[in-house]
Structure 1
Amino acid sequence: MEPKVEEYMAQLPNHIVPRVNSSGEKHREKQLLTQLPRQDLSVAYCRHLGSQTERKVYEEFINARNEIALDIGYVAANIPKSMECHKCRGILERNEMAVVAPKLGENTGWHPACFTCTTCEQLLVDLTYCVKDDQIYCERHYAELHKPRCSACDEARSARLTSYGSVALHSEDDDDAAE
């Protein structure tokens, strides 16, 4: 590994560093599935978009998310000036390594271990994030800020959900769960 990559990885908890055939590699794979649900990425993976209107609303949400909120952070190997970590409020010293989220500006940084989803507190896999109200989220939790998620199929865009206390289901998923 390059020295800067090693320096970045050294700032993360050891059990989540994605080394080949390690628990960190398995953790990353799990986080990809959790934080970037495929049904939030493509209509091809959505079972409950029956009408053209539902498909249009889904596409509009995805397009707006991609344009307004979604981005990929980057590691600045040597920040040009000191700044406050957006999460822990600790100081990132000049020439220190930091993660930068361009949607929040080049002068907003995080310690590598602090670049986490506001909701689930997990490191943002592959530095992919969405921003809302100056906070960063994984794609899953960003979507859930806007739409409820079906507890059975994990889709978040359909208005056709029935709530049972804290559980929301599509009527078709409710029928499947009853069988």
Structure 2
Amino acid sequence: MQDVQACQNAFSLPNGWQVQAAGEQRWLLKGTGERPLQVTLKCITELGNTLEHPAVTAELGPLEPKRMSVQFASWGEAVDSGYPIRALQRRIVPGTEVQEIAELPRADRSNPNAPHGLLMLRWDEEDASHIQQRKAFIATLTQSLEAPGTAKNTTGTAP
């Protein structure tokens, strides 16, 4: 397994995945196979409005309410995951592309300038390979995530 240490967070990637530096405080996490899923990790200090944050707009494009639907999604369940995360999904309608935005926990919650990670990905909801890679990424991330100062649930029961 490949480990990622960035934005004051540490987590593992599924077997075969690669990490590539892609600019200042930005990394590409690449899946496997013919159509590898690609996740962008960007360190940010202030999130504000997740849907219209400049980092999200730069990576995924602007939110287009007339063409997109927006909903929350859970990454990992408290029962089987060390660290469940809430993500926002933007779906382009009509079409099969789903854009997801998830925020990693802030390491130092008392410091509003402490960096934390923003994960952004695009996947095709009709591509079995993308679905499998996304599930593997989320499972590995939520089970291995370690944020300084937070207690990780390793037993599968409520902390």
TM-score (norm 1): 0.24
The structure richer in helix per residue is 1
Structure with larger RCO (C-alpha < 8 A, sep 6+): 2
TM-score (norm 2): 0.26
* Structure whose alpha-carbon radius of gyration is higher: 1
